[in-house]
Amino acid sequence: MEQMVIVGAGPAGISAALYAKRGNLDPLVINNGIGALEKAEKIENYYGLPEAIPGKQLFENGIAQAKALGIRILEAQVLGIEGFDTFEIKTTAGDFEAVSVILATGSARKAPKITGLKEFEGRGVSYCAICDAFFYRGKEVAILGHGDYALHEAEILSHTASKVTILTDGKEPEFTDVSFEVVKQKVEAIEGEGTVTGLRLADGSMVQAAGIFVAAGTAGSSDIARQMGAELTEKGHIKVNEDMESTIPGLYAAGDCTGGLLQVAKAVHEGAAAGLAASKYVRGRG
């Protein structure tokens, strides 16, 4: 069993790993890419940088620093996390069990721009299969997404829904071996009267669905926390205390996913705090 799994290898995740490692723990960092730092052409408002550097370089510097200390970094996508006393982390590289988890994958991903998506939220549009699958038992549902996260959500829904259809919204699916119907056409709109009844495609045809589950891209920290039952703020960020611990013992969060100032300095601070607090939690578990 892992002592600590850190989801995310940006400033928050790597900072957490550095403090955990120096506290004589052996954290596992799961990296699924650079995230928001890739869009930062120049960073010049962070301590210790005599010259501005690209966000990508700062990200790579952090990875190199962690590896130099012997911190393990796994290149994989986290599909979901289950558990309470200990945690089971499901990834594209296999499953892992851990005493503590730190979520540090940045802010929530953006939903696709489809007419009706926002209007039908809570009335047939959902962002969490494990949360809402029960409400669609025996009904036809659809998944919006084209990657492993969408496939994972479809598999959860298959146990309760009468039919599950994956709609890639014009994108090529990243999965190949799949037992669900896959529709590759662009989605024009979500339709319904009071609640969702289906999706209208680019050619004018309809896909019938009582529920639509958004799983575009990869699962963000808030998506994972919501699946686990952790409390979120009104703005959809993970609610944490002063130790960066969520409402689930042993589950911590740091960086953009907690809201507030979306800056590297804040992410580093929260990552350090989470790494220290999670280390204390692990040692307390004996």
Question: Which one is predicted more confidently, 1 or 127?
Answer: 1
183-239 residue pLDDT tens: 999 999 999 999 999 999 999 999 999 999 998 877 788 889 988 999 999 888 999
Amino acid identity of residue 280, one-letter, is K
| Residue 167 reports pLDDT greater than 60 | yes
CATH number at residue 151: 3.50.50.60
DSSP 254: -
What pLDDT does residue 58 have? 94
CB-based contact 181:150 (threshold 8 Å): no
What pLDDT does residue 4 have? 98
- In this structure, the answer to whether residues 130 and 198 fall within a common structural domain is yes
Q: How far is Cα 9 from Cα 13, in angstroms, rounded to an integer?
A: 5
Give the domain-ending residue among 214, 238, 272: 214
What pLDDT does residue 107 have? 67
What pLDDT does residue 157 have? 95
pLDDT, average across residues 26-44: 85
- In this structure, the answer to whether residues 13 and 77 fall within a common structural domain is yes
pLDDT averaged over the chain? 92
- In this structure, the answer to whether residues 130 and 196 fall within a common structural domain is yes
| Residue 42 reports pLDDT greater than 90 | no
| Residue 47 reports pLDDT greater than 60 | yes
243-258 residue pLDDT tens: 999 999 999 999 999 9
Give the domain-ending residue among 154, 185, 214: 214
Examine residue 170 and state whether it is found in any structural domain, yes or no. yes
CB-based contact 93:79 (threshold 8 Å): no
Report the 10 Å Cβ neighbour count for 134. 8
Examine residue 251 and state whether it is found in any structural domain, yes or no. yes
- β-strands 87-91, 195-201 pairing: unpaired
Examine residue 278 and state whether it is found in any structural domain, yes or no. yes
Domain that holds residue 93: 2-109+219-284
Give the domain-ending residue among 153, 183, 214: 214
Contacts of 192 (CB under 8 A, 6+ apart): 116, 120, 123, 124, 198
Element (H, E) at 252: strand 251-253
Examine residue 114 and state whether it is found in any structural domain, yes or no. no
What pLDDT does residue 267 have? 95
55-101 residue pLDDT tens: 899 999 999 999 999 999 999 999 999 998 899 999 999 999 999 99
Contacts of 30 (CB under 8 A, 6+ apart): 5, 6, 7, 8, 9, 73, 74, 76, 78, 89, 91
What pLDDT does residue 217 have? 73
Domain count, the chain: 2
Examine residue 57 and state whether it is found in any structural domain, yes or no. yes
What pLDDT does residue 109 have? 57
CB-based contact 240:103 (threshold 8 Å): no
108-154 residue pLDDT tens: 556 788 999 989 988 999 888 887 888 999 999 999 999 888 998 99
What pLDDT does residue 110 have? 63
What pLDDT does residue 216 have? 82
- In this structure, the answer to whether residues 101 and 20 fall within a common structural domain is yes
| Residue 164 reports pLDDT greater than 90 | yes
- In this structure, the answer to whether residues 179 and 233 fall within a common structural domain is no
